[in-house]
Every structure is written in C-alpha cells, then in structure tokens.
Structure 1
Amino acid sequence: MAKNDKLHVQSSIKDENKIIARRQQIIDAGVKLFKEKGFHRATTRELAKAAGFSIGTLYEYIRTKEDVLFLVCDNIFNEVTKCLTDFPSDTGTIEGLKQAIRHYYLLIDQMPEEFTIMYQETKSLQKAAMHYILDKELEMVAIFERILKDCVEAGNLSLSEDAIYLAANHIVVQGQSWAFRKWALQKRYTIDQYINLQTTMFLQGIMQFEN
C-alpha cells in the first residue's frame, strides 16, 4: 500500500515505516478473521490476537474495526495499480492488452479472499470511506480504459468511448468473478485456462465491434 494511502487511517505512532509494517500485519489478520467469521462477528480483540498484538497496541495503529476493513480494501486497489503499472507492455497492441488482463487475473488468483471480503463488506464502511473505495474501483477501470484507448489510437481496435468504458468494466468484473466463483470454477479450469478462455471470448467480441 502506498504510504499516503495508509495515512488515511489515523495513528498515534509517528514512525511511518513502523505504521506501514504493523498495518500490513493488521491487514493480513483482518483478511483471515473476516473470512472465517465475517466482518460483523469479528471483534477488535480477536483482530489484535490474530495480528499478534495486545489490544492496546492495535489501537495505536487503528481507531475502529471499520479502519481494518478500509485498509484491506485500500490495499487491494494499490496492489492492482502496482500490478498494472509496473510491468512492461507493448503500448497500443493487442498483445499488451492481453498481458495486462493476464497480470490482473493472476493478482486476483493470489488475493481471492481480499476481493470477496471487499465486495461483501464495503457497505459496512462509513460513507466517506465507502465513497473513497468506490472511487478507487473507478480508477482501476480507468487503467483498462487507457490501455484500450491506446489500442484504438494505434489502429488495433475500433471502439467508441462508450464501448471502451463498458469493455474496461467487463475486464474488471470478469477478473473478479474468479474470486467470487473460484470454489466452482477451479473444479473445471486452472487459472491459466480461465485467463485464456476469458481473454479469447473478450477479444473476439470487441474485435468484431464496429465504431
């Protein structure tokens, strides 16, 4: 998680590096506990124990249980952004688009519990935090919009602005479907098979689209 994003949750600790390290422990504990018990049934005392802290130490890094959920959600979007901006790609090419989709889907395969918790429990956040998370989701969609627009500008796709936006949302949602439905899908597909089939169907659809 980016440093500035971590500081949206108040802490009484001044050492930013310590905040980052401890909050990652809290995030990991939150994911495990929320998966096992659900957000509403989990207690801050249980979160502290799962993170290896005393309850007093926990409250040095967060204020409420909702802060932990916020950190879990925020961490997801920062990981997605890092995943999609840190790898080299052939800008404006179909191969670059395919690689971006692959990197995104592989990340989801590594974080299925986090994505599931995010969509099940975001409604439990306070209004301001919920809107922040929803805005982050739109930023994720915007990354794929930019990749698709590069393909259009390079002449490799013919899509309207509306079609680009819908296609970007499609990529995001179909990737997340692996997290929500992994319990069923993995009985039939490996993650590589899922990526290849989803990407093929997606590209066949948008490459027949006439702007």
Structure 2
Amino acid sequence: MRRRAHHDAVNAAIELFSREGYERTTVEEIADAAGISRATFFRRYRSKEDVVFADHEILLEEVVVHLADSRSTPGSADPFVEVCRAARLVFDHHVSQPETSAARHRLLQQVPALRDRELVTTHRYERAFTRYLRDVLPPETQVATTSVAFAASVVAVHNAVLRRWLRDTDQDLRPALEESFRDLRRAAPRAALRPRVSSATPSDTGDRTPSDSPSGGGRRVVVTVVDLPAGDGPVDTDAVAEAVRAALA
C-alpha cells in the first residue's frame, strides 16, 4: 500500500513537471493528480523535490534490510558482494520503470533543485554502504578507508552505468554493471575478506574450552594467498615458505 502510494505520487509529480514545468506546478495539483489531500501530501513529503524521489525512501529501506539480513550468518557472506547486490537493487528498480526513470532523468537536466536533491539521495545510499562495511570488516584492516572507498566506488560505477542505460532504456546493461562490480571487488584489499573475529572471552561465550584458544594449547590454521610470478617456470618454494612464515608470525 505504501509503495503504491509513493509510486502514484512520483508518477503524478513527474508527469506534471514534464508537461507544465517545475516552477509552475503547485503542490495542490500534484496532490490532486495523486488522489490525496494537500495535508496528506505534506505529511508524506516535505517539498516538491522530495516527492520526485519518494520511491527511493522505500528502496533505501530495502537496501538497509538486505545488508542487515546478510549479517544473520556471520562469516558466510562476502561484504563486498553484499554491497554490490544492494546497489543492484537500486539499478533494477530503475530498469523496472523505464518511462518514469527516463522522465525523471530529463527533469534533472532542467531543474537545479532536483539535481541537488538527487545528490542527497545518492549520498544516503553511500552512507548506508559505508556503515555496513565499517560494521562487518575485520578490525585489523583499514576499516574506515576501505569502507568509504569501496562504497563510493560502487555508487560511482552504478551511476555511470545507469546514465548509459538512461540514454537508451532498450539496452540491457546489467551484465556490464556486474562486470564493473567484479572489477571493484578484485581491487578490494584481500585482508578485508576475512570474517570479523569476535573479541569475546571464554567467560563471555560460555562454550569455549582452553584447547579452542591459541594460548590454551590448541592449534591455529593459517591460510595465506601467495602471488606467484607469471610464466610456466618452477615455483620458488623458498619464497612460498617465507610467505607462510610471515603469515604465521
């Protein structure tokens, strides 16, 4: 019901702005076209700028829920993949309503106030991605830098591909978007892919034994990735052993 109400208001506003002009269209006209009262309009939307992006309010909530759900099984999800999936939700939303998305894009080129509002909307997605990454990345990595850089990169790539699609909404650019996201994930710090390690002590959890802890006599298993030189020559086993020793240290 809420999604439908926002959808109707967005379509009504964009259609009126496109036909009558942004400045000449009144709140009363938008409310009438959307089938709501003026009072209801202002309860739901603070301004004409807000109503144009009202569908993104629900979409942002869905993005946040998606990221939260991905944390329900700690250690099983790649946080960079989950951020890309969340961004894909936004892209798919645009693709699902090509006429509305294209009309809104044309309005943005004509109305500076709407371009400013779009920047605010984009920043809210970026902040959601950054907060999620800061929460789930392991503390030994440069969490703040990695989170901000990856979130900003995903948003920038998403917007670049989206603009290409908006110029011709008949084309399918989802494969291009996914390939771009894969490029970003390849460039992400490898250490950030390790799950966050809990700082809980045996008394916190109540289910660890001394043998579970390195200091309690248990064994640790270290997995490391070693970059080998290109070519088909023999592997330098001394270099591999040194890399493993460094990881163990």
The alignment's TM-score, normalised by the length of structure 2, stands at 0.52
Structure 1 residues 48-197: aligned runs within 5 Å: 50-51=33-34, 53=35, 59-62=38-41, 67-86=47-66, 88-90=69-71, 91=74, 95-111=78-94, 113=101, 116=105, 120=109, 123-124=112-113, 137-153=122-138, 158-183=141-166, 189-191=172-174, 193-197=175-179
Maintained 8 Å contact 1:26/1:47 = yes
Alpha-carbon offset, residue 22 of structure 1:
5.3
Maintained 8 Å contact 2:13/2:30 = yes
23 and 148 in structure 1: CA distance in 2 versus 1, 3 angstrom threshold: closer
Question: What does residue 11 of structure 1 align with?
Answer: none
CA RMSD across the alignment: 4.3
Maintained 8 Å contact 1:144/1:168 = yes
150 and 161 in structure 1: CA distance in 2 versus 1, 3 angstrom threshold: same
SS of match in other structure, 2:22? coil
22 and 102 in structure 1: CA distance in 2 versus 1, 3 angstrom threshold: closer
SS of match in other structure, 1:111? helix
Between 171-180 and 112-121, the greater mean CA deviation after superposition = 112-121
Q: Rg bigger for which structure?
A: 2
75 and 117 in structure 1: CA distance in 2 versus 1, 3 angstrom threshold: farther
Maintained 8 Å contact 1:27/1:71 = yes
Alpha-carbon offset, residue 26 of structure 1:
1.9
Maintained 8 Å contact 1:101/1:199 = yes
206 and 84 in structure 1: CA distance in 2 versus 1, 3 angstrom threshold: same
SS of match in other structure, 2:70? coil
- Percent sequence identity over aligned pairs: 15
Question: What does residue 187 of structure 2 align with?
Answer: 205
188 and 25 in structure 1: CA distance in 2 versus 1, 3 angstrom threshold: closer
Gaps of 5+ in 1: 2-16
Task: Give the aligned length.
Answer: 179
117 and 134 in structure 1: CA distance in 2 versus 1, 3 angstrom threshold: same
Whichever residue aligns with residue 116 of structure 1, its letter is H
Question: What does residue 28 of structure 1 align with?
Answer: 11
**Which structure has more RCO (C-alpha within 8 Å, separation ≥ 6)?**
1
Paired with 1:86 and 1:195, the residues of 2 have a C-alpha distance of: 19
> Which structure is higher in helix share?
1
Paired with 2:157 and 2:188, the residues of 1 have a C-alpha distance of: 15
Maintained 8 Å contact 1:108/1:179 = yes
Between 102-111 and 178-187, the greater mean CA deviation after superposition = 178-187
Paired with 2:106 and 2:85, the residues of 1 have a C-alpha distance of: 22
